[in-house]
Amino acid sequence: MAPQLRNPPRRKGSMADVPKDLMDCITDLEKLFTVDKQRINELCDEFVKEFEKGLTEEGSSIPQLPTWVLGFPNGEEKGTYLALDMGGTNLRVCEITLMGHGKFDILQSKYRMDPSVKTSTAEELFGYIADCLKQFVHDHHEGVVKEELHLGFTFSYPCDQHAIDHGILQRWTKGFDVKGVEGVDVVPLFEAALKEKGVPIKLTALINDTTGALIASNYAHPDTKMGVIFGTGCNAAYMEVAENIPKVAKHNLPPDTPMAINCEWGAAFSDRPDVLPRTKYDVIIDKESPRPGQQAFEKMIAGLYLGEVFRLALLDLHQQGHIFLGQSVAKLQTSYTIDTEILSLIELDPFENLRETIDVLETKLGIQCNEQEAKLVRRLAELIGTRSARLSACGVAAIAKKAGLTKCKVGADGSVFNLYPHFKARGAEALRDIFGDAGDDIDIVHAEDGSGVGAALIAALTLERVKAAGLSRECMLRKGVSHAAVS
Ligand code: BGC
C-alpha cells in the first residue's frame, strides 16, 4: 500500500527575511494560538467530565439536550416528507422521498433570508418561514398538500425538548436576536404562522442540524455514530442510552432505549472560560457579541467568528506599530468585515512570494502590505484555522471517550468543514495527539444532508413509532408523554 500523507501540509516559504520585530510578533501569536498536545489532552478530559455532568439533573455548561430521537434508522425507511431548514443565510424547503437501502430523492427550493430577519420579531420570522413554505407548496403542489405530508423542521439553536415536536428555545446563537422567542416553545409560534397564512402542513419533528447529520449519515453509512456541524456555528450529536441519562429518569424509559443527545457543545465552559485556551481577542468578541458570556467555545472555533479573531489580531498589531505602518486601516476597524473565506484564500495562496495574500489584503481590506508582512498575515491565518480544527477535534474526541466509541465514522457538515483548507487533516492530527494511532479510527467524513434528509428520516421514524405503538399521532405527540410506551 502506498504510504499515506499523515500530516497536514506545512506553509511554504522561508521566514529568513522577516525582520526581528515581525518575527517576535509571529512568535507571540504562535504562543497565543497554539493548543499543544498536552493542552488538548487536558481540555479533552475536562470536556468528558462536562459531557457527563450535562446528562445529570445538576447540569453543566454543556446542555446535553435529549432530542427524543429514539434510535437509528434501519436504512429501509420509505415515504415522502417535507423538511424545512432554517440556516443563517438561507431557508431551504425540501421534499424528500426515502427509497430504502439508504437511498433518497430530493426536490428543494432555497429562499434568501434578509439579514434584518435575524434581529426582527417572532411574528416576522415565523411569518417569513410560513410564506416560504406557502411558496413551495404553490410551486410544487399547485397549492394543495395531501394530508399525509409530514414536516421535519431543522431549527439549529439550543432547544429544551420534552417531546419531539416541542422545543423551548434556550437562547439564540450565531448572531440571531429575534425578539419574543427565547424561553418560548417555537412550535406553536410556527404553527400559528402556518395557520394564519393558510399553509396546510403539520409539523412532526423539530430537530437540530447535528441530530439530522447523525441520522442521515447513519442511514447511508451505519457505522456513523456522531453528527457534527462545523459551520457558522458548531455543535455535535451522538446516541446515548437512557440509563446513562439521569435527567430523563422521570420518563421511565427502558434502560437500553437509545436517545440522540444534542450536545450544544458551543456553550462549553461559558461559566469557566479560563478552562479554554482563550486569547484577548476571544474575550473582546464575547464582550461585543449580542450574547456576552454565552457560547464561549463556539466563539473560538466557528465560522462566524474566525474572521473576527483575525481582524482583531491584525488591528492590534497595527495599533502597536508593527504592521501596515502609516496606512488607513478603516476596514480593519469595522467589526465582522472579514469573512472566513478571506482566511481560506490566504491559506490557499500557492505562491512563494504570497502574491495572492497581498492581493486579498488590497482588494478586500484596502491595505497594502509587503512580503514580510504577508508572511505574518499568512501565519496568523494558519494559527487561527489550526486552533479551530484542533479544538473541534478535541470535542469529537471527548464524545468518543465519553461514549466509548473506538472505531466509527463521524458525519460532519458545514462551511468550515467543507471549505476551510486543511481543516480535516489538522483535525485528524489532533485526534492522533489524543488517541495515538487509534485516532485514525475516528474517521470524520462529509455528512449526508442532515438538515434535509435527516429531518425527513426523523419524521419517518417518529411516525413509525406512533404506528407501532398503535397510538394516534395527537395522543403521542401533543401530550408529549408516551415516549416510553413507543420506544
Ligand atoms: C447552535 C446549535 C447548532 C450549531 C450548528 C450553534 O450555534 O447552538 O444548535 O447545531 O450552531 O449550526
Q: Choose one of 89, 173, 230, 270 to mutate for the ligand 1 pocket test, by most ligand atoms within 8 angstroms of C-beta.
A: 173
149 falls in which pLDDT band (50, 70, 90)? confident
Among 4-13, 120-129, 138-147, 456-465, the minimum mean pLDDT is found in 4-13
What pLDDT is stored for residue 13 in this prediction? 62
Rg, C-alpha atoms of the chain: 23
Q: Per-residue pLDDT averaged across 334-354, rounded?
A: 97
468 falls in which pLDDT band (50, 70, 90)? confident
Q: Do residues 436 and 410 both lie within one domain? A: yes
Q: What is the CATH number of the domain that holds 464?
A: 3.30.420.40
Return the ligand 1 atom nearest residue 209 CA.
10
144 falls in which pLDDT band (50, 70, 90)? confident
Q: Do residues 262 and 388 both lie within one domain? A: yes
What percent of the chain has a predicted confidence (pLDDT) above 70? 93
> Cβ-count burial of 58 within 10 angstroms (0-12 exposed, 13-18 middle, 19+ buried)?
exposed
Closest CA to 413 of 389, 454, 447, 452: 447
- Per-residue pLDDT for 479 more than 90? no
Neighbours of 237 (CB within 10 A): 30
Cell of 158: 439550543
Which residues, judged by CB distance below 6 Å to any ligand atom, belong to the binding site of ligand 1?
156-158, 173-174, 208-210, 229, 231, 233-235, 264, 266, 298
Distance 234 CA to ligand 1 centre (A): 5
- Closest residue by Cα to atom 12, ligand 1, is 233
Cell of 260: 440522540
Residue 295 belongs to domain spanning: 36-67+225-447
What pLDDT is stored for residue 318 in this prediction? 97
Amino acid at 476: M
Q: Does 97 map to a domain?
A: yes
- Per-residue pLDDT for 4 more than 80? no
- Per-residue pLDDT for 487 more than 50? no
Q: Per-residue pLDDT averaged across 220-234, rounded?
A: 96
Q: Per-residue pLDDT averaged across 194-217, rounded?
A: 94
Q: Per-residue pLDDT averaged across 185-199, rounded?
A: 95
Return the ligand 1 atom nearest residue 233 CA.
11
Q: Does 294 map to a domain?
A: yes
Q: Per-residue pLDDT averaged across 87-93, rounded?
A: 86
What pLDDT is stored for residue 147 in this prediction? 64
Q: Does 362 map to a domain?
A: yes
DSSP for 367-429? ----HHHHHHHHHHHHHHHHHHHHHHHHHHHHHHHHHT--SEEEEEESHHHHHSTTHHHHHHH
7 falls in which pLDDT band (50, 70, 90)? low
What is the spatial distance between Cα 42 and Cα 129, in angstroms, rounded to a whole number? Answer: 43
Q: What is the CATH number of the domain that holds 430?
A: 3.40.367.20
- Per-residue pLDDT for 286 more than 70? yes
What is the spatial distance between Cα 425 and Cα 344, in angstroms, rounded to a whole number? Answer: 15
Return the ligand 1 atom nearest residue 237 CA.
10
Distance 160 CA to ligand 1 centre (A): 13
Q: Does 168 map to a domain?
A: yes
Q: Do residues 422 and 319 both lie within one domain? A: yes
Q: Does 191 map to a domain?
A: yes
Block residue for cell numbers 442540524: 209
- Per-residue pLDDT for 143 more than 80? no
Number of independent structural domains in the chain = 2
What pLDDT is stored for residue 386 in this prediction? 98
Instruction: Provide the CA 462 distance to its chain's centre, in angstroms.
Output: 24
SS3 235: strand
Block residue for cell numbers 479573531: 309
Distance 158 CA to ligand 1 centre (A): 7
Q: Do residues 443 and 453 both lie within one domain? A: no
What is the spatial distance between Cα 359 and Cα 337, in angstroms, rounded to a whole number? Answer: 17
35 falls in which pLDDT band (50, 70, 90)? very high
What is the spatial distance between Cα 225 and Cα 244, in angstroms, rounded to a whole number? Answer: 16
Q: Do residues 77 and 168 both lie within one domain? A: yes
Q: Do residues 310 and 413 both lie within one domain? A: yes
- Per-residue pLDDT for 354 more than 90? yes
Q: Region of 43 please: left (phi>0), alpha (psi -120 to 50) or beta.
A: alpha
What is the spatial distance between Cα 471 and Cα 80, in angstroms, rounded to a whole number? Answer: 21
Q: Helices 340-348 and 355-365: crossing angle, nearest 10°?
A: 160
Closest CA to 457 of 219, 259, 263, 122: 219
Q: Do residues 257 and 148 both lie within one domain? A: no
Beta bridge partners, 159, equal: 169
What pLDDT is stored for residue 1 in this prediction? 38
What is the spatial distance between Cα 208 and Cα 480, in angstroms, rounded to a whole number? Answer: 18
Q: Per-residue pLDDT averaged across 247-264, rounded?
A: 96
What is the spatial distance between Cα 28 and Cα 22, in angstroms, rounded to a whole number? Answer: 10
β-bridge pairing 65-66 and 103-112: unpaired
Distance 406 CA to ligand 1 centre (A): 25
- Per-residue pLDDT for 311 more than 90? yes
Q: Is the Cβ–Cβ distance between 204 and 459 less than 8 Å?
A: yes
482 falls in which pLDDT band (50, 70, 90)? very low
Q: Per-residue pLDDT averaged across 379-398, rounded?
A: 98
Q: Per-residue pLDDT averaged across 99-103, rounded?
A: 87
Q: Per-residue pLDDT averaged across 319-347, rounded?
A: 96
246 falls in which pLDDT band (50, 70, 90)? very high
Active site residues: 156, 171, 209
Q: Do residues 293 and 199 both lie within one domain? A: no
- Per-residue pLDDT for 343 more than 50? yes
Q: Does 325 map to a domain?
A: yes
Q: Do residues 135 and 230 both lie within one domain? A: no
β-bridge pairing 90-100 and 103-112: antiparallel
Residues in the chain: 487
Q: Per-residue pLDDT averaged across 84-106, rounded?
A: 90
Q: Do residues 168 and 253 both lie within one domain? A: no
Q: Does 260 map to a domain?
A: yes
Q: Per-residue pLDDT averaged across 204-229, rounded?
A: 96
Q: Do residues 193 and 77 both lie within one domain? A: yes
Q: Do residues 50 and 77 both lie within one domain? A: no
What pLDDT is stored for residue 52 in this prediction? 98
* Report field, pTM of the whole predicted structure over 0.85: yes
- Per-residue pLDDT for 169 more than 60? yes
What percent of the chain has a predicted confidence (pLDDT) above 90? 84
Q: Does 214 map to a domain?
A: no
Average pLDDT for the chain: 92
What pLDDT is stored for residue 471 in this prediction? 56
What pLDDT is stored for residue 15 in this prediction? 85
DSSP for 49-115? HHHHHHTSTT--SS--EE----S---S--EEEEEEEEE-SSEEEEEEEEEEETTEEEEEEEEEEPPG
